[in-house]
Structure 1
Amino acid sequence: MASSSHDLSAVFLVTVAANVVPLVGVFHLGWSAQTFAVIYAIELVVTVPFAGLKALFARCPPNYDELERPKEDDPLKSDERGGISVGPSDLTHRRGSVTIVDPLPPIYPRNVPFVARAFGSAVALVGLFLFVLGQFVDVPATLADPSVAASVVFLVISHVGVVNREYFRNRRHETSTPRDMVASATTEAGLAVVVLMFAIVGGPAGALVAFVAVKLFAEWRSYHGGMAFDPEEGVGMLPPVAAPDVPPTAEVRPDRRAVRATALWQGVKSAVSGGPAYLFAWVGITAGSAGPVAATVVCFGLLPAAVGGLKAVEYALTHGTLAYQRRDDAVVAYDELTETVQWATPVDDIRDAELCEGEFVDRACDTRTFSLTTFAGEYELSVAHLREYGRAVEAFVLPVETTAFDPIDRRVAGAAAAVGVCGVAAVAGIAYYAPTIAAVVAGFGSPFGVVALRSAWQWALPAT
């Protein structure tokens, strides 16, 4: 233990020296403050998605006493400890793991929501850092500098080496929770944003001082926390599922087309919700030497695609890999990806089964999603996107009144769709003549557009 303490002390002192050197160089040797400020910002941004990738392999699940699945009418109820919110996701309660590559440990689908939030946080950080630094630094020109480009490559390679050495070889993934992995990185980056807001009056030198101060503070916390690490903190294992060990007499799978379409729609909603972050990034890039076309492709194309793509993957893993089975007198949800039973409930324990009227894709694809309420269960169970829904109702003895959707108000739905199409066309037309105005409208208007369309859809649904 003593040698481990000495090693941590040596690493901490080396880190302190490495972060003090740029300050000495800038204030006494004439080095470029804006170059180091951009490099520090990149390091903070890169650390967050790397934390998300590490969280994917974290063997210890989050604390399920604190991480509760929020109700649909309470979207603000989520796991907010450590500044990371995973929001409503059934995937966080997923059992089992899957091995992708033999040398690496298995990955856990339940950690994917944390990974998605980490990449979403990284996108938000990109927008904020570009917006603030773009006020006094030509960020695109600085990134084009060969020395900065080489530093970025070295930074990524060093992160890969650190993850391999400290996380995999030292087997820290066995005692880590996904929330702690992501929270540590997002907390440091968020603190840097706050400090940078106050240090902006100092220009590039002030930004560099802010970054170095936050970096040293984070290293100091890591140094003290590393010697007092509790592997049991935050661990909350799900109880094993008791399911009949017999071949299923009936099996129904979700319709793949419906799952893909819903995953795509969920990804689009998640991507659009980050509009302000894309706008901040666009302003920061166009404030430098980058043209509006390139900035638009990056900020309103690549960044939303990354955020939306991960959300789509999350939804596909939540519903697309399950098979719903009837085993003896029980209904069982079996995950074919991890080869693990996710939940099982006796047929007689199903108190209520409700047809989800608000699923747009189910209406379009002629599939059905049912919400099951049991007498003893803590959470509602979902049987999603079934094309053979009649067979499922019969085999699982679901107490549903009807499997037919009530008609929606087509006037409201059509008007909402027309307004949405016109809004997109208007933004595209404005972008041709006034890119800045179009970016502002897209950045701040798109989240409100999603909320408006969602409200219109709820209005169009039949009253219950």
Structure 2
Amino acid sequence: MASPSNDSSAVFLVTVAANVAPLIGVFHLGWSAQTFAVVYAIEVVIAVPFAGLKALFARRPPNYNELERSRGDGPFKSDERDGIPVGPSDLNRRRGSVTVVDPLPPIYPRNVPFVLQAFGAAVGLVGLFLFVLGRFVDVPATLVDPSVAVSVVFLVISHVGVVEREYFRKRRHETSTPRDMVASATTEAGVAVVVLMFAIVGGPTGALVAFVAVKVFVEWRGYRGGAAFDPDGGVGTLPPMAAPDVSPTAEVRPDRRAVHAAALWRGATSAVSGGPVYLFAWVGLTAGSTGAVAATVVCFVLLPAGIGGLKAVEYALTHGTLAYQRRDDAVVAYDDLTGAVQWATPVEDLRDVELCEGEFVDRACDTRTFSLMTSAGEYELSVAHLREYDRAVKAFELPVKTTAFGPLDRRVAGAAAAVGACGVAAVAGLAYSAPTIAAIAAGFGGPFGVVALRSAWQWAIPVA
């Protein structure tokens, strides 16, 4: 390992001094420990979504062997061989890039799931820090303090400057992977949460000591060159793509309305699933000077809307920009957004094609989603939300048994919908008379409701 240069040593010493100075001020000059604790917490939180934004531009693909497709999200099955996940989600494998603004490098759609991961982690950090710090710090009142507000603005500006200087100007985005960008920031934040839990007995001063200790440790690792993640260790590759270079003889596109509806549905379920985090944030805000109504709007409206919106964008990018084509004797998925072929398979290699019975939006919009397995393929492919599904089956020669949905048990579906509507109405009614009970019910009842409704839906759909 190369020895640190004199320049890096000077930068490290200045950084250590800047982080130790608040401790000296608190212990010897009477500075406010709670103010610095809140500022450090904000710094940790801000770093995570900035890591997500940096991940958008990471040129090197993630390590696909370390990714797996979610088992419970949508009709698609997990990519497994003998029970071991072997493949990532469709969007993680997206080829190509998009240039949004000329001075900036291109954005890679395959990195969007990592952005969602980063923003989800940031929301979780907000909930945890508010819950912990709210026990001995009036966080809302501290946030409106002019010195804290100026510090937050300075933190944002400094992060923008560091990204421009260290990430773009030095072209580190060309050698970075999205997973490493997000993992480095979330690991630092996770260490800060753990240390803070043990230091909570010391009140605001203990919290400040915890944040300073973590910050100095991270800076020390960077100074010693001991990066938590090896940039070369997380790099994956996509197999070569060979598609007939001819004009398509047939083309079928996903129904836009069905894609948007499915995206909103995925976003809503993802947002509701974070209920406990929103509850922690609500407790932290109401423990200070924030009223119950304002805290409810922030924690149970704005935070879920952010997470749900990102999940909806991810799903729309996964399916909404594709065109399924027949080129010679091959089925090809072409992405209009990136202008690249995503996958191609000869018709004769299609050995197992199934209609996805459990897609709620397809039933509501009269569209169809098919899962495809090839004789030589390692991963499951899909053609999603087709309104012209009969034409697609004929043009692509899909060996599917039927394109008709089986009968749905409307009694189970209706009962589940009624119970869910009653639960939402009950929480809304409690919000006016008993906001604390309503917050607890929304925080823990939301995720439970998603699981219960999903189970009821699986029970209602016909057995293959």
With the length of structure 2 as denominator, give the TM-score of the two structures.
0.95
Equivalent position SS for 1:65: helix
8 A Cα contact 2:409 2:461, kept in partner: yes
Q: Write out aligned runs for 1:32-51 (5 A).
A: 32-51=32-51
Letter of the 2:176 partner, please give it: S
Flag the 1:76–1:307 CA change in 2: closer, same or farther, 3 A: farther
Flag the 1:227–1:37 CA change in 2: closer, same or farther, 3 A: closer
Matched with 2:82 is none
Matched with 1:101 is 101
C-alpha RMSD over aligned residues: 2.0
Q: Distance in 1 between matches of 2:423 and 2:221?
A: 48
Matched with 2:84 is none
Deviation at 1:231, TM superposition (A): 5.0
Q: Distance in 2 between matches of 1:157 and 1:358?
A: 47
Matched with 2:207 is 207
Q: Write out aligned runs for 1:19-418 (5 A).
A: 19-69=19-69, 89-225=89-225, 231-418=231-418
8 A Cα contact 2:271 2:305, kept in partner: yes
8 A Cα contact 2:4 2:224, kept in partner: no
Write out per-residue CA displacement over residues 167-203 of structure 1, whole angstroms, 9 at most, x where no aligned residue: 0001010111101000111011111111111111100
Structure 1 unaligned segments of length 5 or more: list them.
Answer: 79-86
Flag the 1:292–1:176 CA change in 2: closer, same or farther, 3 A: same
Deviation at 1:90, TM superposition (A): 1.6
Q: Distance in 1 between matches of 2:138 and 2:228?
A: 42
Equivalent position SS for 1:130: helix
Write out per-residue CA displacement over residues 8-50 of structure 1, whole angstroms, 9 at most, x where no aligned residue: 2222111111100000000000000000000000000000000
Equivalent position SS for 1:345: strand
Deviation at 1:225, TM superposition (A): 2.9
Q: Distance in 2 between matches of 1:412 and 1:66?
A: 38
Flag the 1:161–1:232 CA change in 2: closer, same or farther, 3 A: same
Write out per-residue CA displacement over residues 267-310 of structure 1, whole angstroms, 9 at most, x where no aligned residue: 00110111000000000000001111110110001100110000
Flag the 1:11–1:228 CA change in 2: closer, same or farther, 3 A: farther
Write out per-residue CA displacement over residues 64-85 of structure 1, whole angstroms, 9 at most, x where no aligned residue: 232243555999989xxxxxxx
Deviation at 1:232, TM superposition (A): 3.0
8 A Cα contact 2:180 2:229, kept in partner: no
Deviation at 1:234, TM superposition (A): 1.9
Deviation at 1:449, TM superposition (A): 0.3
8 A Cα contact 2:177 2:231, kept in partner: no
Matched with 1:429 is 429
Letter of the 2:417 partner, please give it: A
8 A Cα contact 1:5 1:227, kept in partner: no
Write out per-residue CA displacement over residues 149-182 of structure 1, whole angstroms, 9 at most, x where no aligned residue: 0100111011000000000001010111101000
Letter of the 1:375 partner, please give it: S
8 A Cα contact 2:357 2:405, kept in partner: yes
Equivalent position SS for 2:324: strand
Deviation at 1:236, TM superposition (A): 1.4
Deviation at 1:4, TM superposition (A): 7.5
Q: Distance in 2 between matches of 1:49 and 1:209?
A: 24
8 A Cα contact 1:59 1:173, kept in partner: yes
Letter of the 2:419 partner, please give it: V
Q: How many residues align?
A: 456
Identity, in percent, stands at 83
Flag the 1:414–1:398 CA change in 2: closer, same or farther, 3 A: same
With the length of structure 1 as denominator, give the TM-score of the two structures.
0.95
Flag the 1:404–1:76 CA change in 2: closer, same or farther, 3 A: closer
Q: Distance in 2 between matches of 1:124 and 1:228?
A: 22
8 A Cα contact 1:35 1:148, kept in partner: yes
Structure 2 unaligned segments of length 5 or more: list them.
Answer: 80-86
Letter of the 1:222 partner, please give it: G
8 A Cα contact 2:71 2:77, kept in partner: no
8 A Cα contact 2:200 2:206, kept in partner: yes
Matched with 1:442 is 442
8 A Cα contact 1:89 1:113, kept in partner: no
Q: Distance in 2 between matches of 1:266 and 1:300?
A: 17
Flag the 1:450–1:60 CA change in 2: closer, same or farther, 3 A: same
Letter of the 2:10 partner, please give it: A
Equivalent position SS for 1:59: coil
Q: Distance in 2 between matches of 1:108 and 1:234?
A: 16
Equivalent position SS for 1:331: strand
Q: Distance in 2 between matches of 1:71 and 1:288?
A: 40
Write out per-residue CA displacement over residues 75-132 of structure 1, whole angstroms, 9 at most, x where no aligned residue: 9989xxxxxxxx9632111111010000000010000000001000000000000000
Deviation at 1:412, TM superposition (A): 0.3
Q: Distance in 2 between matches of 1:54 and 1:135?
A: 34
Flag the 1:330–1:309 CA change in 2: closer, same or farther, 3 A: same
8 A Cα contact 1:246 1:327, kept in partner: yes
Flag the 1:71–1:308 CA change in 2: closer, same or farther, 3 A: closer
Deviation at 1:351, TM superposition (A): 0.2
8 A Cα contact 1:330 1:345, kept in partner: yes
